[in-house]
Amino acid sequence: MNGAQHALEAACAAGVEVCFANPGTTEMDLVTALDSSPAIRSVLCLFEGVATGAADGYGRILGKPALTLVHLGPGFANGIANLHNARRAGTPIVNLIGDHPSWHLESDSPLTSDIDSLASPVSKWVRRSNSADRFAQDMVEAIATAKGPPSGVASLIVAQDAAWNEASAGMPTVSVPESSLDEDLIQRAALDLKERGERGALLLGSRALRPSLEAAARIQAATGCQVFLDTFMARLEQGRGLPNFETLPYFPEQAIEKLSGLQAMVVAGSRRPIAFFGYKSIGRSELLPDDCECNVISGLGVDSSPALLAMADELDAPRWTPGQQGAPPIEPEGQLDTMNLGLALVSVLPENAIVVNESATSSLGWAVHSKTAAAHDVLNLTGGAIGQGLPNSIGAAIAAPDRPVVALQADGSGMYTVQGLWTMAREQLNISVIVCANRAYRILQAELKRAGNSEPGSAAMSMTELSSPELNWAQIAQGMGVPSVRATRAEEVVGALRRSFQEPGPMLIEALL
């Protein structure tokens, strides 16, 4: 058994089931080893950013890592943007990066580059595996590190001779770290919120599922505190029958306003809130008032529910019961705009769906109405590296084949990883892609104004407009094997979504805004 077979066998034993791959010559031994690892599903992606973004979506849903298989430094580099998002989401991922055989590195052949330097900024753990006898051990350590807690991105750079040489070592083992609660901190934080009432706030971040949400609702009931969600939740359960909380605004002046007067904040599953961008007119990164105490009871990549449950119990908070459920929203009609587009999705969204939201400025209707939809998961753009949506939805659909997945996708950001459409078709994934086609980097038009350029000239405007030529997403999708329709009215979106949820495989709806 060579190093590659040994390492993949170890990965199977550690529970790895999927490999999102875009291999090259230096990964051929690993590709061959996949033949003898039928428990690992290999999913070919035509661009590495699709592979890493898919692994991110997969990890967010299952809480365990998929592998990515990418080719040397440049191949890995193509996956960095979505790994940046994964890093900000605390998603478990193991990147397997094939490098030249160890003896070939010093010749600095054309595809050689400093992979460590490329991998470090997006990885909590980077290691080189240079021997067949170490490879399987390095693999299980990568998997354990990715799982955490805290969970995150682990990158294993594999010399090709470590893959092709015979491996003599036995099956590796790895110890799993114990996570423990800081009882004192939780007690103090609980007391803080109880004393402060509505001058206190709980911030839920990153990954908030039903147990965390219910605990937060209990804490709110017991203390009168406010509860906020991070602006970009890696994964959030929301909708009818769930406690639904307010999202912290994106623009810092609005968030500062919202948080003004707070004396205490308790953060679970995230970190102290800060501004996404720094603006000249605001001149600060902090969103909290300067005198606001801030306690982080659980950080990124850690399940926040044990700490929140302990806090709710500490407060003797009563059990949470859902209130009366409102009726589902009414299906909208009329010429499409950002409001009725979101409402169209909300009105037909099946229970237990997964919505991958990268709709940027087209998200208005979704933001306003999504909490009235049937209960679902939503995955948001965590790191601001656009091009997350289509790949994330691939990973989510593979992680949860029985759940409908919707990619609510802005057109500008969708183009960065447009190759993902092909993998959706190839794997016949149940993904309904809604492209919000406003043919602009609309957010940049807003940001230009915020930067003081209220009347952009032609050079500046040309950097924000996608209208010349107009992208035809329906055609692009068909060219990659995904059936598509174009819609100009809300009822057309409703109808197309209904059909899409009923039929297997992907469908793309180009919503012309």
Q: How far is the CB of 1 from a copy of itself (least distance, A)?
A: 14
Nearest Cα residue to 263 out of 193, 190, 186: 193
CB atoms within 10 A of CB 318: 11
Member of 120, 168, 173, 254 binding a copy of itself (CB under 8 A)? 120
Q: State how far the Cα of 378 lies from the Cα of 171, in Å rounded to an integer.
A: 38
Member of 117, 168, 179, 260 binding a copy of itself (CB under 8 A)? 117
- CA distances from residue 338 to 12, 406, 434, 447 in whole angstroms, order as listed: 44, 16, 12, 19
Which 225-264 residues touch a copy of itself, going by CB under 8 A? 232
Member of 188, 443, 486, 499 binding a copy of itself (CB under 8 A)? 443
Member of 188, 426, 486, 498 binding a copy of itself (CB under 8 A)? 426
**Per CB under 8 A, 433 contacts a copy of itself:** no
**Per CB under 8 A, 131 contacts a copy of itself:** no
Name the DSSP letter for residue 174: -
**Per CB under 8 A, 480 contacts a copy of itself:** yes
The string over 237-253, giving b where at least 16 C-beta atoms fall within 10 Å of a residue's C-beta and e elsewhere, is bbbbebbbbebbbebbe
**Per CB under 8 A, 29 contacts a copy of itself:** yes
Helix (H) or strand (E) segment spanning residue 199: none
Per the CB < 8 A criterion, the answer to whether 408 and 359 are in contact is: yes
Stretch that binds a copy of itself, among 24-32, 193-201, 261-269, 309-317 (CB under 8 A): 24-32
Nearest Cα residue to 233 out of 363, 383, 354, 361: 383
**Per CB under 8 A, 124 contacts a copy of itself:** no
Helix (H) or strand (E) segment spanning residue 86: helix 80-89
Angle value at C-alpha 338, between 333 and 343, nearest 5 degrees: 50
**Per CB under 8 A, 376 contacts a copy of itself:** no
Which residue in this structure is represented by tokens 């990418």? 70
Partners of 66 in beta bridges: 93
Q: How far is the CB of 253 from a copy of itself (least distance, A)?
A: 15
Q: How far is the CB of 287 from a copy of itself (least distance, A)?
A: 10
**Per CB under 8 A, 475 contacts a copy of itself:** yes
CB atoms within 10 A of CB 409: 33
**Per CB under 8 A, 289 contacts a copy of itself:** no
Which 157-186 residues touch a copy of itself, going by CB under 8 A? 160-161, 164
Query: How many positions of this chain bind a copy of itself (CB under 8 A)?
Result: 106
C-beta closer to a copy of itself: residue 156 or 418 = 418
Stretch that binds a copy of itself, among 106-114, 261-269, 304-312, 325-333 (CB under 8 A): 106-114
**Long-range pairs for 28-33: beta carbons < 8 A, 24 or more residues apart:** 29/2, 29/3, 29/4, 29/160, 29/163, 29/164, 30/4, 30/69, 30/96, 30/98, 30/158, 30/163, 31/69, 32/4, 33/2, 33/4, 33/5, 33/7, 33/8, 33/163
Note the helical H segments in 319-374.
Answer: 338-348, 364-369
**Per CB under 8 A, 485 contacts a copy of itself:** no
> Letter for the amino acid at 178?
E
- CA distances from residue 26 to 100, 136, 142, 158, 323 in whole angstroms, order as listed: 6, 18, 20, 9, 57
C-beta closer to a copy of itself: residue 56 or 314 = 56
C-beta closer to a copy of itself: residue 141 or 161 = 161
Stretch that binds a copy of itself, among 34-42, 135-143, 236-244, 367-375 (CB under 8 A): 34-42
Member of 142, 471, 490, 513 binding a copy of itself (CB under 8 A)? 471
C-beta closer to a copy of itself: residue 191 or 443 = 443
Member of 173, 254, 453, 488 binding a copy of itself (CB under 8 A)? 453
Member of 383, 389, 391, 395 binding a copy of itself (CB under 8 A)? 383
Cα-to-chain-centroid distance, residue 109? 35
Which 306-365 residues touch a copy of itself, going by CB under 8 A? none
Which 47-76 residues touch a copy of itself, going by CB under 8 A? 47, 49, 72-75
**Per CB under 8 A, 100 contacts a copy of itself:** yes
Q: State how far the Cα of 512 lies from the Cα of 43, in Å rounded to an integer.
A: 31
Member of 374, 466, 485, 495 binding a copy of itself (CB under 8 A)? 466
Q: How far is the CB of 482 from a copy of itself (least distance, A)?
A: 8
Which residue in this structure is represented by tokens 């009822």? 491
Member of 1, 12, 46, 221 binding a copy of itself (CB under 8 A)? 46
C-beta closer to a copy of itself: residue 328 or 456 = 456
C-beta closer to a copy of itself: residue 323 or 452 = 452
> Letter for the amino acid at 325?
Q
